[in-house]
Chains A and B, each alone.
Chain A
Amino acid sequence: GEDVEQSLFLSVREGDSSVINCTYTDSSSTYLYWYKQEPGAGLQLLTYIFSNMDMKQDQRLTVLLNKKDKHLSLRIADTQTGDSAIYFCAEKPPGYSTLTFGKGTMLLVSP
């Protein structure tokens, strides 16, 4: 089965850039996602990328994909205290219904 691995914790200072990393094992074409969970809230879809893309940028968020190494990263520029949350990496091959999640990376942003 597929595996998605993430580091569990990241601490940064407000204004710095944050980089959250993820590796996956599925070798077929796949969608890759970043979800955000704030305390007490549900999962918010932040962004996603298809595995034929190398990069996607959306305002302060940049997703980079190294398909050879099956490595996905989420960069948050100018990190704010409101970005403190758990970030989940997930993947889903086209035509499949199941999202496979990592354990989540807790991002703590200090003033």
Chain B
Amino acid sequence: EAGVTQFPSHSVIEKGQTVTLRCDPISGHDNLYWYRRVMGKEIKFLLHFVKESKQDESGMPNNRFLAERTGGTYSTLKVQPAELEDSGVYFCASSSGLAGGPLQFFGPGTRLTVL
């Protein structure tokens, strides 16, 4: 069974540009999460989808971040315009079961560098 996949693995962009990250969850997992780790800090929750609906987006830092999950399969996270403080590793995770389930399985992450 394929795990959570993320694309790209690395992205280097200039301040003010737009970047779109993609996550493909484990097949059949209704729950999809985005997390972010800024260098030296904790991994922080961004948002949670149940199928195509946003269940919890309390961790989204500001309106420059837009997450979508059309059709309830893969998800995209767009940052527009990117700022220097957006640099970090963006992780996607998925899980099955109600209330998010106890186990979240993570992808390899996308390392975003904003210059």
Chain A residues within 8 Å of B, Cβ to Cβ = 4, 31, 35, 41-45, 48, 50, 88, 90, 92, 94-104
Contact = CB atoms under 8 A, between A and B. Distances in A.
B102 A92 contact: yes
Q: Is the interface of A mostly helix, strand, loop or mixed?
A: strand
B74 interface: no
A31 B101 CA distance: 11
Contacts of A43: 43, 91, 93, 106, 109
Interface stretch (B34-42, B62-70, B80-88): B34-42
Given A97-B55, A97-B56, A99-B35, A42 B106 contact: yes
A95 B104 contact: no
A88 B43 CA distance: 9
B109 A101 contact: no
Size range of the interface on B? 20 to 34
B45 interface: yes
A-B residue pairs, 8 tightest by C-beta: A42-B108, A43-B106, A97-B100, A101-B43, A97-B48, A98-B45, A95-B99, A101-B42
B107 interface: yes
22 contacts: A4-B42, A31-B102, A41-B108, A42-B107, A43-B93, A43-B109, A44-B106, A45-B104, A45-B105, A90-B43, A94-B99, A94-B102, A96-B100, A97-B48, A97-B56, A98-B45, A98-B56, A98-B59, A100-B42, A101-B44, A103-B40, A104-B43
Nearest to A90: B43
Contacts of B105: 45
B75 interface: no
B103 interface: yes
Given A45-B104, A94-B99, 9 more contacts: A42-B106, A43-B91, A94-B102, A95-B100, A96-B99, A97-B56, A99-B93, A101-B44, A103-B40
